[in-house]
């Protein structure tokens, strides 16, 4: 299993939210490039980045920051947030990212996922953000009514090889992942699963690893010091 440290961008700054609430945004680091360098020094192989402005309004306001991280650190990066068309997919890949995360658009326009996977294969991941078992869209603000398991199976049937699952109730709360929902998801699909939301201790990492989860995103716990990234990466392996 791999641990992916997270950099969430809003107005060009590194921030964290609680339960996806934009009103809770607070800056957690001075500079995305220096943050990425520290993650690489700890042994990270892939950095998870989210354009929060893009997720909310479809803008590409933070792409310059992503470009700087890639150019100045040489990091492998996956990026999500506001990717709604094939042109968006192509623009993100042109930045040099390794994996593009399609979130809300996968629910509203599943054919986009089918087309993107046909063209770019495992460079495409789908983000499934759930609250109470149903998939949320529009920066987690709107309930689609889609069951997360049924939606994951649909995405896998389109050839998606990586699903990033977030339990919104756990995000930024340092309370551990939703192991029950992740277990159900692991039993339902055979593609790669990335756990996101609540990952905060080495025991969380060990449990996810032993469940057969492929990757885990660590955000707030790394910034607060509750989780030592290097130790987490070692535990995952």
**Does 51 qualify as catalytic in the annotation?**
no
Annotated catalytic residue within 129, 167, 171, 204: 129
Strand pairing report for 13-18 and 21-29: antiparallel
User: Radius of gyration over alpha carbons of the chain, in Å?
Assistant: 16
Annotated catalytic residue within 8, 167, 171, 214: 8
**Does 129 qualify as catalytic in the annotation?**
yes
**Cβ contacts of 165 within 8 Å, gap of 6 or more:** 128, 130, 148, 152, 181, 182, 185, 193, 194, 195, 196
d(CA 119, CA 210): 33
- Paired with 29 in beta bridges are 14
Q: Write out the DSSP string of 8-75.
A: EEETTEEEEEETTEEEEEEEEES-HHHHHHHHHHTT-S-EEEEEHHHHHH---TTHHHHHHHHHHH--
3-state SS class at 195? strand
Q: Describe the chain by its helix, strand, coil percentages, rounded to 5.
A: 45, 30, 25
3-state SS class at 217? strand
User: Which residues have a catalytic role annotated?
Assistant: 8, 129
């Amino acid at each position: 299993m791999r641990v992916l440290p997270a950099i969430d961008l809003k107005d060009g700054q590194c921030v964290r939210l609680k339960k996806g609430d934009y009103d809770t945004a607070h800056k957690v680091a001075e500079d995305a490039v220096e943050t990425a360098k520290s993650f690489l020094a700890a042994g990270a192989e892939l950095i998870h980045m989210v354009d929060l402005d893009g997720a909310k309004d479809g803008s590409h306001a933070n792409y310059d920051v992503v470009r700087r991280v890639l150019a100045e650190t040489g990091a492998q990066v996956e990026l999500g947030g506001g990717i709604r068309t094939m042109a968006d997919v192509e623009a993100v890949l042109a930045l040099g990212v390794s994996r593009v995360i399609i979130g809300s658009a996968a629910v509203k326009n599943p054919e986009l996922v089918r087309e993107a996977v046909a063209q770019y294969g495992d460079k495409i991941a789908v983000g499934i953000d759930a609250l109470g078992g149903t998939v949320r869209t529009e920066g987690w603000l709107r309930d689609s009514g889609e069951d997360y398991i049924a939606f994951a199976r649909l995405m896998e049937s389109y050839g998606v090889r990586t699903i990033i699952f977030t339990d919104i109730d756990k995000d930024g709360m340092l309370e551990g992942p939703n192991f029950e929902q992740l277990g159900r998801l692991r039993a339902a699909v055979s593609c790669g699963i990335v756990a996101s939301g609540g990952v905060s201790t080495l025991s969380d990492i060990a449990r996810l690893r032993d469940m057969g989860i492929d990757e885990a995103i660590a955000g707030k716990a790394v910034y607060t010091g509750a989780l030592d990234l290097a130790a987490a990466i070692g535990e995952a392996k």
